A and B are shown apart, each in its own frame.
Chain A
Amino acid sequence: MSLDSSSSSSSGDEYIEENPNSNPKMVDERFEVLTLTEPVELESNHRGDGSEIENGSLNRERNGGDEDDDRLRVENQEIFGDAGPSSPSSSGYAGERGSSSATSASRIDEASEIDDNEIREVRNDGSLEGISDSQASSWVPGKRHIDEDDASISWRKRKKHFFILSNSGKPIYSRYGDEHKLAGFSATLQAIISFVENGGDRVKLVKAGKHQVVFLVKGPIYLVCISCTEEPFESLKGQLELIYGQMILILTKSINRCFEKNPKFDMTPLLGGTDVVFSSLIHSFSWNPATFLHAYTCLPLAYATRQAAGAILQDVADSGVLFAILMCKHKVISLVGAQKASLHPDDMLLLSNFVMSSESFRTSESFSPICLPRYNPMAFLYAYVHFLDVDTYLMLLTTSSDAFYHLKDCRIRIEMVLLKSNVLSEVQRSMIDGGMRVEDLPIDPLPRFGSSPHLGQQRPPTDSPERPTEPFIGIGGPAGLWHFIYRSIYLDQYVSSEFSPPLNSPRQQKRLYRAYQRLFASMHDKGIGPHKTQFRRDENCVLLCWVTQDFELYAAFDPLADKALAIKTCNRVCQWVKDVENEIFLQGASPFSW
């Protein structure tokens, strides 16, 4: 299989430097063209040609060794009791949306309204703006608290800091406060790292009370996180890796050359105006499971609808486009890659974050150089980006710097087809309908053939006696099921249920998110993992995790949930996911990549 999560977790350092022609100038120029709406002339030596990039990529062909999803086996059957449904895993869903699928407004965005912004404790001095959870601080893009520095008490009390600095101690980015005012602090971080380095070692983590200081050294770039959230070290380290990846996406790794030439090189001008990209990425660390699962998620769509979108994307991919990606917010509608090219979920996360957080992409069609750090950290690709509506955007990636007009034509074609085949209106509709809800977990796993309602939702009249979950409304799904995340290993995709009551408040949702994060880290311990099963109960909830070769299931239950019932319910969730897999997953994503 192509870049799976284990190989992809290796650091960017291991990539072979592919593009000897890269030079600092290119990095400089890169910023002049950040969001130009017209094609940009770049010197030809700025980029590798397409074939070079392809050869340099770390893809391996997906091949027949991969398990077909129809063969998704339920292992550990004994653990999950005898509730194993007997229905075939292939869904007969024909793509018609049931008329009974009307649901309440989407909650997709609710999770995004959580942030680490709160100051840990509000002192009486009144100078601190403690934002209580109940206020559901709506997340504001861009950097805040610019007036703070390391002398401010409020700055010291921020729950989670991120810093990027150079190996000479020059600040490059700080989540809070003004980088220039943090020069002294930055020098301290540098001193700690180099002191340990001089002793022939490399500092990774410092713990003090609730605080963790996590260090990541990437050549001449140092990244540091100081956090008092309960996230495990592995998660924080992964977040630093993503921040580094985001920086590479903007600059390519050839930035290292600048430091080789001039250790005192000041990088801040190069990243000018990208604060908003980093702050949006950091924000996603507290709501987007893709940041720790290393998988992407799809917008639920009828199989035929997604097929239609995929077909037109495939069309343009055959005309020299490396990747064609259609997304709605952070969810994938369809995705197609040129032959042998496959896209790592982390690259997709970073790319969509870059596009969504930069306001300029929304205003007009753009053609911008970007680098996919997992694909090839040394070379720029060129991204044609166009928002088809407020949330839906098309990204066409190419290796050619003068493909703007060609890609513009492609976009016009794609847009026409999408409009004609109603894909865009289906997307809108799916946004409103939302995804899987635990309340809708089918009680009896009868195979559904033919016309099936949206995501298998069974919505009989409310007085129907066949709906035993009815009394449980407000307390989640059957057996106290609150929420689940299902990650398909072969597809590199996950599906996460919508937040249902009682997970109403952003605070509860974030707590669950953090619990999943810990559970993931615990299951995937580097030395001894992955474990097979984990059951974890504390005051807040019961978590069940089940890892097989094919999938991983993470489920949250009421803390008083019965173990045996919870296990049966997990089994039903797996069956449900399989029943609707054609709607929630992009099947055979970039089929030409393996």
Chain B
Amino acid sequence: MGLASIGTASEGMQLCIFDLRRGQHEGQELDKILFFFPADLPFSTQLSVIGLSEGLITFTRIFSPEAACEVIEAERHSHVFYEAEPDIWMVMVVEKSKELEAIWRIDALREVLKEIHSLFMMFHGSIRALLDKEPSGELTRAHLYPFIMDYLRACQKRSPLDECCWDFLVGKKLQLPSFRDCLKERRTVQMLTVGREAAIEVQTLVRVLELCAGNTPCSSLILFQDLLVSTTLSPEDTINLFTYAVLRLTPHALSSGASSWSYLRKGNSSSHVATVSTLAPSGSVSEQFYGSRDTSPAGDNRYRITRPLQHDKWFKGKDGFLSTDIWGMDAGSLNVTTPTVWLRQTEERMYLCAYQYRSLTLILLIPFSSILNGEQGVSIVKQQLLENILCPPIEPFALVVSACLDCKASLKILKVEEKLSKGWGGENAYHVSGYRYLLVDGNREISRASPPAKVTTLTKESLLALNRLREEVDSEKSRAKWDNPGHDKDLEVCIRAKNNAWAIARITGGKELYMVLEKANETLLYASDAVEKFSNRYCSGAFSLD
């Protein structure tokens, strides 16, 4: 594939974060820069990227004070903007290549920026708060640099079959979401469909889980494989934790380790960045500038930097709990420090405990403030959790079964796991033959799509047509947002492309359905009929016309 020849990562993509409130005086411009990838670019180049961005933010506000610059399309590059926090901007510059592969959907790229920022917020709080805490900006840079490098290096492996999309990932080229991903939606959750009986079991499990910390209101998230089973969190917090779990916690993430694809080079990716920085003429300067390098272990240097996205740092203990030393070791003991995360909804800091049984991953979030004695308190809750899910109280039937199993069988969780496993259809569970689809429920931030392996059977032309259609829909949606806030767009588009494939989009009531039908010689009525059938069968008629 042509991508290999494109060259180093620095040519393919730039990513920067800057603060418009900083460095407003001549000579202090560097102060603005909070993050820049690749860090070895000369500061003059970094400043010129940021200068252009800043200039266009100011310029566009003349006409559009309510929404400043979102994207710059130039002949050779796209600059994607995202105002992560007031006056804190993230800009990604991607190179358009002559090869057709480098065709993006701008909104999909912006979702990458949103994902980076949301995950960062979950672990470190807001960038503004960090800047307020230490106005020099060094603390912020020291946090951002390793975090984003870890993110770029490793990401998004939601199915082992994903890999067939990434086979050509050789060289140092960053692999960003392209038109081939037009039947995927980042920043959404993929749910497991469960039967009624299993759902009741899951509900019981959730109730049991949340009783672990006594009267303290806990939250929980349950995943089966890489699919969400249950959540008691807000949609946004669910997405963030779900994303993290799929990246780092699920059985799949734990086992994949080095084999998972990454935005950076496969395999020896960590050495890649190191190489870049040592080879670069200004490497040492920027190294000082961005503080702690990603090669330094956690917790050293001047700041104690945790790197939650670091690879291969989570392990499953004998007790079933997942543990990591990312957050450091508890002083004086061999125990690791329990990770904490910030919830967006409640702005509350929570301990994160993850427990795994076969394909099932339970995540329990305990309010930090409610645990007075730190790690010790967490251990108690964990103990309680084990007891609750393994030996459910007062349930004679369960006791009998337990006895039968002749051990402290993980009864409750076993039952649930077994039910879910039985009901699950495997990797291709959600394949609908003849269809290649993406279904997004914007109200609940949920999506479901054809398995990646099936999507790869589509021709490039079909994918390009759908990608283009999605861009059109994106702009209509964004327009509707400004013209008619709070009013859902209603739209139906069926396009018969040059190769006779149908690219279809249906938007209604906050739900979106995208589809490619490749069977030749289908008529418009046939295509509409196919959508109708799909809608009735798999979407409870959400997209049906009557």
Interface residues of A (CB under 8 A from B): 78-79, 150, 156, 188, 191-192, 195-196, 199-211, 213, 226, 228, 230, 232-233, 518, 522, 525, 527-539, 563-564, 567
Nearest B residue to A539, CB-CB: B490
B55 within 8 A of A: yes
Contact, CB under 8 Å: A563 / B77: no
> Would you list 14 pairs from A and B whose C-beta atoms are within 8 A, ordered by A residue?
A79-B523, A79-B525, A200-B76, A205-B72, A206-B72, A209-B68, A213-B59, A518-B472, A522-B468, A535-B494, A536-B492, A536-B494, A537-B492, A538-B476
Distance of A564 from chain B, by nearest CB (Å): 6
Q: Tell me the bound Cα distance from A174 to B500 in angstroms.
A: 45
- A533 CB contact (under 8 Å) in B476, B496, B521: B496
Which among A209, A522, A530, A538 has the highest number of chain B CB atoms within 10 Å?
Answer: A209
- A207 CB contact (under 8 Å) in B71, B103, B491: B71
Q: Which of B493-534 contact A (CB under 8 A)?
A: 493-498, 500, 521, 523-525, 528
Contact, CB under 8 Å: B495 / A567: no
- A528 CB contact (under 8 Å) in B468, B490, B491: B468
Q: Tell me the bound Cα distance from A208 to B83 in angstroms.
A: 12
Q: Tell me the bound Cα distance from A156 to B493 in angstroms.
A: 34
Say yes or no: A567-B62 contact (C-beta < 8 A), given A201-B76, A527-B468, A535-B494: no
B407 within 8 A of A: no
Nearest A residue to B507, CB-CB: A538
B-side contacts of A205, CB under 8 Å: 71-73
Distance of A212 from chain B, by nearest CB (Å): 10
- B73 CB contact (under 8 Å) in A199, A204, A518: A204
* Inter-chain residue pair count (beta carbon < 8 A): 139
Contact, CB under 8 Å: B64 / A228: yes
Nearest B residue to A185, CB-CB: B62
Say yes or no: A531-B62 contact (C-beta < 8 A), given A204-B75, A207-B69: no
A-side contacts of B70, CB under 8 Å: 207-209
Q: Tell me the bound Cα distance from A211 to B70 in angstroms.
A: 10
Contact, CB under 8 Å: A563 / B524: yes
Interface residues of B (CB under 8 A from A): 48, 51-52, 55-56, 59-64, 66-77, 100, 103, 461, 464-465, 468, 472, 475-476, 479, 482-483, 489-498, 500, 521, 523-525, 528
Nearest A residue to B66, CB-CB: A209
Nearest B residue to A560, CB-CB: B545
Nearest A residue to B490, CB-CB: A539
Contact, CB under 8 Å: B493 / A536: yes
Q: Tell me the bound Cα distance from A538 to B55 in angstroms.
A: 37
Say yes or no: A528-B60 contact (C-beta < 8 A), given A205-B73, A536-B492: no
A-side contacts of B52, CB under 8 Å: 195-196, 199
Distance of A193 from chain B, by nearest CB (Å): 10
Contact, CB under 8 Å: B498 / A531: yes
Q: Tell me the bound Cα distance from A527 to B471 in angstroms.
A: 14
B-side contacts of A536, CB under 8 Å: 491-494
Contact, CB under 8 Å: B496 / A210: no
Contact, CB under 8 Å: A563 / B67: no
A-side contacts of B472, CB under 8 Å: 518, 522
A-side contacts of B490, CB under 8 Å: 538-539
Distance of B280 from chain A, by nearest CB (Å): 20
Contact, CB under 8 Å: A199 / B62: no
Q: Tell me the bound Cα distance from A232 to B475 in angstroms.
A: 9
- 8 further interface pairs, Cβ-Cβ under 8 Å (given A78-B521, A207-B69): A204-B73, A205-B72, A207-B71, A527-B100, A531-B495, A533-B495, A534-B495, A537-B491
Which among B464, B475, B482 has the highest number of chain A CB atoms within 10 Å?
Answer: B475
Distance of B45 from chain A, by nearest CB (Å): 9
Q: Tell me the bound Cα distance from A522 to B77 in angstroms.
A: 22
